[in-house]
């Protein structure tokens, strides 16, 4: 089976348990086991190839220009880890079926577990470090879900957060390190990087890369000083602890060190950092484990200690060290997972796992006792169990290692650590299973059902099998994986129990006897331990988190004050500053374009524009005046466009100008008409200075551009040359819009439609609840003209309407070959419609409206999209246009282009958007008019909402007399929704009044 499929299988199956949980826990577990089993089977099919020294690969290009390829490979190391992950995964799935109760969301558990499993398999089979990083982060996320699985337990949630924070930060550090590494090697493929040992170790970036990568590995594998998160993660259900925190996830860091071992190890830096950290971790964690009463906490610290051991071995940088590390990875996974499951069984059956409460379980739970004892003896390093073999290797390697020319330090520390390790292993058994029968337990302990003990029993069987026949059972795997770690060409000596009386054997004997002695003296030591104050990792972690949070809050509040004028000011200063820097540090090329001559019309427009703009600044406190002046600016800009060879722009600008003015007038209807002067003279002076600086900068920039030719030939030549040939249009601007850059235009009409819908939504919100009442209570602040709908205007606009529509149609049709097109035609038609609203009133027009503007927007986008999709029938990409010439009797030959269909979409979208936007503001005005004129307008208001239109004739009938009061009318006319909203608001207001009393 291909490596990619093996990694994908758990992900593919992840949704299944959550679906099948409806049919029971067993089915959810079975389907998880099925997918895991398939992946394991697929993996093992590749075993012969990999054992023979081969590598199985799948290579899929994903983002090759980033160096990110979905490359998977199975080499010896990947094979070892993937077997552990999937194999132990199967056992855990079975165990969890019996461990979790039917009150737990079991489907979720298996989904998370499969996600985690897929991510883990992804890590160990990735042949690309960027891909590996993605899976790495996925393990952090999925383990967060698993640790926090019991959401009701605060310890679980906090432990999950802590684990995510620590491993997540480590992951970030590792990303940086990996990028450096990939940069040095010139490839992100692991198989490629592994070939560049010399280049990497000679690089000046070797140390930073090493430190950053180790940051990721140490946090993941809980190495000192990042070890504190692992014990807190033990708040997870025991299957999670057994799987993530002993067999798999915490070994990801080790895997990474082993993976990169060929290129990173062998330097003094590697030795002194990795070996020392490993040794310190092994020692400290073992010491802490001795004094833990919670079985799982004891095992957690013991795990940290054993991870330290493996790190220490990898840190040696020798082949013997690599061998010991690989072998201990296998052995630790077997005995520790079995121990965790045994602790889980005790917890499950006795109701507690506190070593001070349970005792004498040997007689009550014989099966569990046997399993736990086998695993614990292996952990203690007793001969004939597998832990003994790898521990011997460790001691042997330690005996020959010098630390800064000191030849006794490392052997002594390693022996002490082994001694502690034996102590806590013995304590686990003697305090838990020996001694007097337990008193006062929450439950009467007994052995669990077969399904629950078979998984740890199988692992215990492996412990003995490897312990007795290491070469036959595990030899092939160890050789294969060690060969991969050291980068090939490795031949392992036979794994055997008896090597003669070696230093390691002596150290081992000291450790075991010392361990027994220390356990005998446990009580006084425990008292001493309990009496000594220790740094509490969780408290320190929480303190740091709180400090970081308050720092973040301080920064946010300092920067994000809610003063928009300040943001804009800072933004302008920055932009001007950066521009100034660029100007000062860059060079300005020579002027290559002659100035265009000036004529009187140009100077006149220029003067007009300048005067109008200056007047806006000077007189903007009078808002109506500012609006008039803005209109002048807009018209001048339109004229300039005509003058400067841009007829399409001129038409667009002038029509947009009209709708914008209507829009602003509608808004000004409500807003104050005067802006009072609030800024101090100093602020005004500063703002003027800043604006002038920005203006000068922009002027200078565009002047420099205008007086220089293009540095490179532009695309325009292509478009001018091919506009007619390829798209059949003479108006190149329109051809660009509907054809060459049709995708952009498609996006733009969509955005415009969304903007209009946003306005609609805002209007809806304002027409509800408190703001609706404010609108009704609103009274105009300027006198109204006497004539609401002037007769002249009314007649003229109604007569003009068909003419305007014909003009719109004409502009639309000619757009492809002459100035015009969908945008402009849409605006012209929108203006024609708006004038109807202005002259005849909102209600009159609305009542005659046949098509809703929402529909126009939607059909615009759809028409454009469908036209574009039509190209598929021609086997062309989306939005490729086609055109031809048609001759109809009685008419000249004319051209028909599919682009016209697209342009129709643009037209519809523009009409709909503009009208919906203006309509929103008009509806607010209607609501306000309701208060102004009393309830008589009720029928019109009912007509405001399209769906209420049908009801309008009904509600136009006689109202009860009290309906004159608008608010009461409102209550009766609208359905329960509005009524409850009002109620809520009333309650709200009452609260406010009450709050104001004291």
Positions 568 through 597 that interact with other proteins (CB under 8 A): 568-569, 572, 593, 595-597
- Between 244 and 609, CB nearer to other proteins: 609
Residue 441 tokens, joined? 């337990």
By CB under 8 A, is residue 982 in contact with other proteins?
no
Neighbours of 621 (CB within 10 A): 12
Q: Binder to other proteins among 737, 899, 900, 915 (CB under 8 A)?
A: 737
For residues 415 and 521, what is the distance between their CA atoms, to the nearest angstrom? 19
Supply the minimum distance, in Å, between the C-beta of residue 653 and other proteins.
Answer: 6
**Locate tokens 């004539």: which residue?**
787
User: Considering only CA atoms, which of 535, 555, 542 is closest in space to residue 165?
Assistant: 542
- Between 521 and 692, CB nearer to other proteins: 692
By CB under 8 A, is residue 922 in contact with other proteins?
no
Neighbours of 165 (CB within 10 A): 18
Contacts of other proteins in 381-440 (CB under 8 A): none
Contacts of other proteins in 294-313 (CB under 8 A): none
Judged on CB neighbours under 10 Å (0-12, 13-18, 19+), 765 is exposed
Contacts of other proteins in 343-362 (CB under 8 A): none
Q: How many Cα atoms within 13 Å fall on the side-chain side of residue 958?
A: 2
Say if residues 315 and 274 touch (Cβ distance below 8 Å). Answer: yes
Q: Binder to other proteins among 733, 833, 843, 899 (CB under 8 A)?
A: 733
Site string for other proteins, 821-860 (x = CB under 8 A): --x---x---------------------------------
**Stretch of 70-78, 317-325, 609-617, 861-869 contacting other proteins, by CB under 8 A:** 609-617
By CB under 8 A, is residue 698 in contact with other proteins?
yes
Say if residues 415 and 511 touch (Cβ distance below 8 Å). Answer: yes
Q: Binder to other proteins among 208, 695, 780, 790 (CB under 8 A)?
A: 695
**Stretch of 132-140, 160-168, 542-550, 913-921 contacting other proteins, by CB under 8 A:** 913-921
Q: Is 879 helix (H, G, I), strand (E, B) or coil?
A: coil
Say if residues 163 and 147 touch (Cβ distance below 8 Å). Answer: yes
**Stretch of 100-108, 326-334, 645-653, 929-937 contacting other proteins, by CB under 8 A:** 645-653
Which of 594-602's residues contact partners 24+ apart within 8 Å by CB, and which partners? 595/707, 601/643, 602/643
225 sits in which H/E element: none
By CB under 8 A, is residue 55 in contact with other proteins?
no
- Between 411 and 826, CB nearer to other proteins: 826
By CB under 8 A, is residue 276 in contact with other proteins?
no
Phi, psi of 886, rounded to the nearest 5 degrees: -120, 140
**Stretch of 165-173, 330-338, 578-586, 612-620 contacting other proteins, by CB under 8 A:** 612-620
Residues 6 or more apart in contact with residue 514 via CB below 8 angstroms? 419, 422, 423
Neighbours of 603 (CB within 10 A): 10
For residues 181 and 128, what is the distance between their CA atoms, to the nearest angstrom? 12
By CB under 8 A, is residue 756 in contact with other proteins?
yes
- Between 663 and 858, CB nearer to other proteins: 663
Phi, psi of 525, rounded to the nearest 5 degrees: -65, -40
By CB under 8 A, is residue 798 in contact with other proteins?
no
Q: Binder to other proteins among 191, 203, 267, 660 (CB under 8 A)?
A: 660
Q: Binder to other proteins among 283, 485, 719, 834 (CB under 8 A)?
A: 719
DSSP string, 754-787: HHHHHHHHHHHHHTSHHHHHHHHH---SSPPPS-
Which of 453-457's residues contact partners 24+ apart within 8 Å by CB, and which partners? 453/345, 453/367, 453/368, 453/371, 454/94, 455/91, 455/92, 455/94, 455/95, 455/341, 456/91, 456/95, 456/337, 456/338, 456/339, 456/341, 456/342, 456/345, 456/371, 456/372, 456/375, 457/367, 457/371
Phi, psi of 219, rounded to the nearest 5 degrees: -65, -40
- Between 492 and 627, CB nearer to other proteins: 627
Supply the minimum distance, in Å, between the C-beta of residue 745 and other proteins.
Answer: 6
Say if residues 323 and 390 touch (Cβ distance below 8 Å). Answer: no
- Between 250 and 775, CB nearer to other proteins: 775
For residues 462 and 385, what is the distance between their CA atoms, to the nearest angstrom? 9
- Between 323 and 827, CB nearer to other proteins: 827
Judged on CB neighbours under 10 Å (0-12, 13-18, 19+), 174 is buried
Supply the minimum distance, in Å, between the C-beta of residue 623 and other proteins.
Answer: 5
Contacts of other proteins in 957-976 (CB under 8 A): none
DSSP string, 951-973: GHHHHTSPPPGGGGSHHHHHHHH
For residues 125 and 190, what is the distance between their CA atoms, to the nearest angstrom? 10
For residues 281 and 287, what is the distance between their CA atoms, to the nearest angstrom? 10
- Between 641 and 837, CB nearer to other proteins: 641
Supply the minimum distance, in Å, between the C-beta of residue 764 and other proteins.
Answer: 11
Supply the minimum distance, in Å, between the C-beta of residue 687 and other proteins.
Answer: 5
- Between 17 and 919, CB nearer to other proteins: 919
Supply the minimum distance, in Å, between the C-beta of residue 563 and other proteins.
Answer: 4
Detail the DSSP E strand segments found in 488-533: none
- Between 864 and 917, CB nearer to other proteins: 917
Supply the minimum distance, in Å, between the C-beta of residue 726 and other proteins.
Answer: 12
- Between 696 and 796, CB nearer to other proteins: 696
Supply the minimum distance, in Å, between the C-beta of residue 796 and other proteins.
Answer: 25
Contacts of other proteins in 762-791 (CB under 8 A): 762-763, 765-766, 770-771, 774-775
- Between 272 and 571, CB nearer to other proteins: 571
By CB under 8 A, is residue 723 in contact with other proteins?
yes
Say if residues 293 and 356 touch (Cβ distance below 8 Å). Answer: yes
Supply the minimum distance, in Å, between the C-beta of residue 975 and other proteins.
Answer: 23
Q: Binder to other proteins among 549, 550, 707, 986 (CB under 8 A)?
A: 707
Q: Binder to other proteins among 41, 553, 688, 796 (CB under 8 A)?
A: 688
DSSP string, 9-74: HHHHHTHHHHHHGGG-HHHHHHHHHHHHHHHHHHHHHTHHHHHTT--EEEEEEEEGGGTEEEEEEE
- Between 644 and 806, CB nearer to other proteins: 644
Supply the minimum distance, in Å, between the C-beta of residue 739 and other proteins.
Answer: 10
Q: Binder to other proteins among 549, 561, 574, 874 (CB under 8 A)?
A: 561
Supply the minimum distance, in Å, between the C-beta of residue 566 and other proteins.
Answer: 8
Q: Binder to other proteins among 18, 368, 373, 652 (CB under 8 A)?
A: 652
Q: Binder to other proteins among 189, 347, 396, 648 (CB under 8 A)?
A: 648
User: Considering only CA atoms, which of 70, 9, 248, 213 is closest in space to residue 142?
Assistant: 248
# chain residues binding other proteins, by CB under 8 A: 120
Q: Binder to other proteins among 632, 690, 807, 858 (CB under 8 A)?
A: 690
For residues 433 and 786, what is the distance between their CA atoms, to the nearest angstrom? 100
Q: Binder to other proteins among 357, 620, 854, 974 (CB under 8 A)?
A: 620
**Stretch of 83-91, 450-458, 567-575, 844-852 contacting other proteins, by CB under 8 A:** 567-575
By CB under 8 A, is residue 864 in contact with other proteins?
no
Contacts of other proteins in 666-685 (CB under 8 A): 667-668, 670-672, 675, 678-679
For the chain, the C-alpha Rg in angstroms (whole number) is 39
**Stretch of 161-169, 334-342, 386-394, 724-732 contacting other proteins, by CB under 8 A:** 724-732
């Amino acid at each position: 089976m291909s490596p990619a499929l093996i990694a994908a299988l758990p992900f593919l199956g992840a949704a299944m348990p959550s679906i099948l949980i409806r049919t029971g826990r067993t089915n959810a577990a079975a389907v998880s086991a099925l997918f895991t089993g398939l992946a394991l089977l697929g993996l093992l099919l590749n075993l012969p190839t990999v054992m023979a020294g081969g590598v199985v690969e799948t290579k899929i290009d994903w983002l090759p220009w980033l160096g990110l390829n979905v490359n998977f490979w199975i080499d010896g190391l990947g094979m070892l880890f993937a077997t552990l992950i999937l194999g132990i995964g199967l056992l855990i799935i079975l165990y969890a079926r019996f461990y979790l109760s039917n009150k737990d969301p079991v489907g979720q558990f298996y989904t998370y577990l499969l996600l985690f499993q897929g991510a883990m398999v992804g890590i160990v089979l990735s042949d690309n470090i960027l891909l590996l990083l993605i899976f790495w982060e996925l393990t952090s996320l999925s383990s967060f879900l698993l640790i926090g699985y019991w959401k009701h337990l605060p310890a679980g949630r906090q432990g999950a957060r802590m684990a995510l924070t620590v491993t997540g930060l480590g992951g970030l550090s590792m990303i940086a390190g990996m990028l450096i590494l990939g940069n040095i090697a010139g490839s992100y493929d692991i198989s490629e990087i592994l070939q560049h040992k010399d280049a990497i170790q000679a690089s000046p970036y070797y140390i930073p890369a090493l430190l950053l990568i180790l940051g990721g590995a140490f946090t993941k594998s809980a190495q000192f000083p990042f070890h504190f998160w692992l014990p807190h993660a033990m708040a997870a259900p025991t299957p999670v602890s057994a799987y993530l925190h002993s067999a798999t996830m915490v070994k990801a860091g080790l895997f990474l060190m082993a993976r990169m071992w060929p290129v990173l190890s062998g330097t003094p830096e590697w030795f002194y950092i990795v070996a020392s950290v490993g040794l310190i971790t092994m020692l400290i964690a073992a010491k802490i484990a001795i004094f833990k009463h919670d079985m799982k906490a004891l095992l957690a610290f013991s795990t940290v200690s054993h991870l330290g051991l493996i790190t220490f071995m990898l840190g040696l940088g020798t082949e013997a060290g690599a061998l010991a590390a690989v072998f201990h990875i296998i052995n630790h996974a077997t005995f520790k997972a079995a121990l965790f499951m045994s602790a889980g069984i005790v917890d499950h059956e006795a109701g507690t796992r506190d070593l001070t409460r349970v005792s004498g379980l040997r007689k009550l739970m014989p099966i569990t006792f046997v399993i736990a004892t086998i695993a614990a003896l292996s952990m203690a390093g007793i001969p004939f169990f597998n832990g003994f073999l790898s521990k011997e290797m460790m001691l042997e390697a330690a005996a020959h290692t010098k630390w800064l020319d000191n030849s006794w330090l490392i052997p002594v520390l390693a022996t002490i650590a082994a001694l502690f390790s034996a102590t806590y292993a013995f304590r686990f058994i003697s305090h838990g299973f020996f001694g007097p029968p337990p008193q006062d337990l929450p439950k009467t302990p007994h052995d669990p059902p077969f399904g629950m003990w078979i998984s740890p029993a199988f692992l215990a069987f492996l412990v003995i099998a490897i312990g007795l026949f290491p070469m036959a059972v595990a030899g092939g795997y160890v050789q294969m994986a060690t060969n991969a770690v050291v980068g090939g060409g490795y031949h392992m000596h036979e794994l055997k129990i008896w090597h003669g009386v070696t230093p390691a054997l002596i150290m081992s004997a000291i450790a075991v006897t010392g361990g027994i002695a220390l356990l005998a003296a446990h009580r006084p030591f425990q008292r001493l331990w309990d009496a000594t104050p220790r740094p509490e990792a969780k408290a320190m972690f929480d303190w740091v988190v709180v400090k970081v949070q308050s720092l973040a809050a301080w920064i946010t509040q300092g920067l994000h004050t809610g003063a928009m004028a300040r943001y804009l000011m800072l933004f302008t200063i920055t932009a001007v500053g950066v521009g100034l820097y660029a100007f000062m540090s860059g060079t300005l090329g020579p002027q290559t374009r002659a100035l265009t001559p000036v004529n009187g019309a140009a100077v006149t427009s220029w003067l007009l524009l300048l005067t109008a703009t200056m007047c806006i600044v000077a007189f903007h406190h009078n808002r109506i005046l500012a609006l008039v002046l803005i209109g002048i600016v807009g018209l001048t800009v339109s004229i300039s466009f005509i003058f400067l060879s841009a007829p399409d722009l001129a038409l667009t600008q002038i029509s947009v100008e009209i709708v914008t003015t209507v829009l602003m007038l509608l808004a000004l209807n409500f807003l104050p008409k005067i802006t009072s002067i609030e800024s101090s003279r100093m602020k005004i002076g500063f703002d003027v200075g800043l604006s002038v600086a920005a203006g000068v900068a922009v002027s200078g920039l565009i002047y420099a551009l205008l007086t220089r030719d293009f540095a490179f030939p532009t695309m325009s030549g292509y478009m001018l040359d091919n506009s007619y040939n390829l798209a059949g249009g003479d108006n190149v601007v329109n051809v660009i819009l509907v054809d060459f850059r049709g995708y952009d235009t498609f996006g733009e009409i969509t955005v415009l439609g969304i903007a209009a819908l946003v306005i609609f939504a805002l209007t809806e919100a304002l027409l509800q609840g408190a703001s609706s009442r404010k609108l009704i209570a609103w009274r105009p602040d300027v006198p109204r003209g006497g004539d609401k709908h002037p007769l002249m205007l009314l007649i003229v606009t109604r007569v003009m309407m068909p003419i305007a529509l014909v003009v719109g149609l004409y502009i639309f049709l000619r757009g492809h070959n002459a100035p015009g097109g969908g945008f402009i035609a849409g605006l012209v038609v929108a203006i024609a419609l708006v004038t109807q609203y202005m002259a005849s009133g909102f209600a009159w027009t609305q009542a005659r409206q046949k098509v809703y503007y929402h529909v126009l927007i939607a059909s615009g986008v759809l028409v454009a999209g469908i036209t574009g999709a039509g190209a598929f029938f021609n086997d062309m990409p989306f939005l490729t246009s086609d055109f031809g010439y048609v001759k109809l009797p009685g008419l000249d030959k004319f051209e028909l282009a599919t682009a016209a269909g697209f342009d129709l979409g643009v037209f519809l979208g523009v009409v709909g958007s503009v009208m919906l936007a203006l309509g929103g503001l008009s509806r607010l005005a209607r609501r306000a008019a309701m208060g102004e004129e009393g309830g008589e307008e009720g029928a019109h208001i009912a007509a405001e909402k399209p769906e209420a239109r049908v009801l309008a004739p009904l509600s136009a009938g006689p109202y009860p007399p009290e309906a004159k009061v608008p608010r009461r009318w409102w209550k009766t006319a609208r359905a329960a929704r509005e009524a409850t909203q009002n109620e809520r608001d009333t309650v709200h207001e009452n609260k406010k009044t009450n709050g104001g009393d004291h």
